[in-house]
């Protein structure tokens, strides 16, 4: 018999739980389906939130040919073969066939290039699914032809609906007497992942092996401890473990960081995914306290791409330990977020005239570039002049933090700018 999660896969939007911002009344994807005019898009979100299911529902509702490719197993040849099949199928219906690509972030540039023409010409409507930020993984020409819709982890209310639906409608569970006394552990371990919730539920029911089933926090935890891979054999704790990994680095615990690195490697996690997170951590959590951290993390990223696994575990471990043992600062991270917030509030303030480029005579006559002072012409390669727009001249975005490297930067700024950079 099929697993519970597969048996309960929704067949229509009315059965679909969660993502109301996309499929609720008046929402963008529901409108596209109701108007029967679906354009290419990419669904970005964590595992188990309904990306694949939504693609199937769209195809079934529109009654169009539906082709699927897995980025893990398909090559350029497979892409071209599917496109040819899609071309043939357009003669039998007026709607464009849908090509669904799971894990589209794993497609190589050449594979994505082979899709581009078919998407441009409308041979297929592309629906991609990814757990990774498409901005990093999808080539710009393809991304520009697709909308990106973000799916969210299920809320507690959604999980409660799904649990009730499973117990009352599933062909197996509805014949049992299931008493739900506690749900905290069930929802906590599922982490907003519908598939994980159903896998855990099925595991708990099977562990009691009778028609009288009681669900409590204790028996959920016990069942998972006794069967640690039952809900995670395909890496469904992906987000839990990477979160613990990054927080251990941030917390300067190299032993914990290496432990979670080992968990990810042993679980078959994509090493490039790990390396990318190390680069982010080096910028976000170590930052200016030790700028070499970013260089080492980036070198580890390159090394993993070049040598692969299992040897790639070594530069990953080197970078992990180095980042975990480095001094920490998020001053650059906070600075750019402070600046972004200010820009969103203040809009596009005029650039001071002396900082503007003057490639034409008219611009020069209007005062562009006039009175600009070239810093390298002055002692210490510095001259005190205004760089921020007039309305932002007193704004501060970067604030140094307490570590040796930034203390030196702070001293330099105070020596150059005086009171402006005094804390």
- Closest Cα partner for 143 from 194, 171, 107, 175? 107
Report d(CA 104, CA 21) in Å as an integer: 23
CATH number at residue 184: 1.10.8.60
Tell me if residue 99 falls in helix, strand or coil: strand
pLDDT of residue 92: 52
pLDDT of residue 297: 96
Q: pLDDT digits over 150-165, tens only?
A: 998 889 999 999 999 9
Q: Residue 400: is its pLDDT beyond 70?
A: yes
Ranking 48-57, 356-365, 368-377 by mean pLDDT, the lowest is 356-365
- Side-chain-facing half-sphere of 247: CA atoms under 13 Å: 6
Do both 141 and 255 map to the same domain?
no
Do both 37 and 51 map to the same domain?
yes
Q: Residue 323: is its pLDDT beyond 60?
A: yes
Q: Which residues touch 111 (CB under 8 Å, ≥6 apart)?
A: 71, 74, 75, 76, 79
Q: Would you say residue 232 lies in a domain?
A: no
Do both 119 and 171 map to the same domain?
no
pLDDT of residue 208: 83
Of 291, 325, 359, the residue at which a domain comes to its end is 325
Do both 287 and 316 map to the same domain?
yes
Q: Residue 399: is its pLDDT beyond 50?
A: yes
Q: pLDDT tier at 327 (50, 70, 90 boundaries)?
A: very high
Please tell me the pTM assigned to this model: 0.59
* Domain of residue 263, residue span: 238-325
Q: Would you say residue 330 lies in a domain?
A: no
Mean pLDDT value of segment 96-121? 86
Q: pLDDT digits over 227-275, tens only?
A: 544 434 344 466 778 888 999 999 999 999 999 999 888 877 889 889 9
Termini Cα distance of the chain: 67
Q: pLDDT digits over 163-194, tens only?
A: 999 999 999 898 889 999 999 888 888 878 88
Q: Would you say residue 117 lies in a domain?
A: yes
Q: How large a percentage of the chain has pLDDT more than 70? A: 95
Do both 146 and 162 map to the same domain?
no
Of 150, 181, 206, the residue at which a domain comes to its end is 150
Q: How large a percentage of the chain has pLDDT more than 90? A: 37
Q: Residue 283: is its pLDDT beyond 90?
A: yes
Mean pLDDT value of segment 334-344? 91
DSSP notation for 231-259: TTTTSTTHHHHHHHHHHHHHTT-HHHHHH
Domain count along the chain: 4
Do both 51 and 116 map to the same domain?
yes
Q: What average pLDDT is seen over the chain?
A: 87
């Amino acid at each position: 018999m099929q697993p519970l999660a597969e048996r309960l896969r929704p067949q229509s939007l009315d059965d679909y739980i969660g993502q109301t911002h996309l499929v609720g009344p008046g929402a963008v994807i529901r409108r596209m389906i109701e108007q029967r005019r679906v354009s290419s898009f990419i669904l970005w979100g964590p595992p188990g939130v309904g990306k694949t299911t939504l693609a199937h529902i769209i195809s079934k509702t529109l009654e169009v040919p539906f082709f699927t490719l897995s980025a893990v197993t398909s090559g350029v040849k497979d892409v071209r073969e599917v496109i040819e099949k899609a071309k043939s199928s357009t003669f039998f219906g007026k709607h464009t066939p849908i090509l669904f690509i799971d894990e589209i972030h794993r497609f190589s540039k050449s594979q994505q290039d082979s899709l581009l023409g078919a998407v441009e010409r409308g041979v297929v409507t592309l629906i991609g699914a990814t757990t990774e930020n498409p901005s990093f993984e999808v080539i710009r020409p393809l991304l520009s032809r697709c909308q990106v819709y973000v799916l969210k982890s299920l809320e507690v209310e959604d999980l409660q609906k799904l649990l009730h639906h499973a117990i009352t409608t599933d062909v197996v569970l509805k014949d049992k007497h299931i008493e739900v006394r506690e749900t905290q552990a069930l929802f906590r371990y599922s982490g907003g992942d519908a598939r994980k919730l159903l896998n855990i539920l099925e595991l708990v029911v099977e562990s009691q092996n009778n028609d009288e089933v009681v669900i409590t926090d204790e028996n959920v935890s016990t069942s998972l401890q006794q069967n640690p891979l039952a809900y995670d054999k395909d890496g469904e704790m992906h987000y839990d473990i990477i979160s613990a990994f990054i927080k251990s680095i941030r917390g300067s615990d190299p032993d914990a960081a290496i432990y979670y690195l080992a968990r990810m490697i042993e679980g078959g996690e994509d090493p490039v995914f790990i390396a990318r997170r190390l680069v982010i951590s080096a910028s976000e959590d170590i930052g200016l306290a030790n700028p070499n951290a970013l260089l080492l993390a980036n070198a580890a990223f390159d090394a993993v791409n070049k040598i692969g696994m299992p040897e790639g575990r070594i530069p990953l471990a080197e970078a992990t330990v180095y980042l975990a043992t480095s001094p920490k600062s998020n001053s650059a991270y906070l600075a750019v977020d402070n600046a972004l917030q200010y820009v969103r509030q203040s809009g596009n303030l005029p650039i001071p005239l002396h900082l503007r480029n003057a490639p034409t005579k008219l611009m020069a006559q209007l005062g562009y570039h006039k009175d600009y002072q070239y810093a390298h012409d002055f002692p210490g390669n510095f001259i005190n002049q205004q760089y921020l727009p007039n309305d932002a001249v007193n704004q501060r975005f970067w604030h140094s933090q307490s570590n040796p490297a930034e203390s030196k930067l702070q001293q330099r700024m105070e020596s150059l700018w005086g009171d402006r950079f005094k804390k």
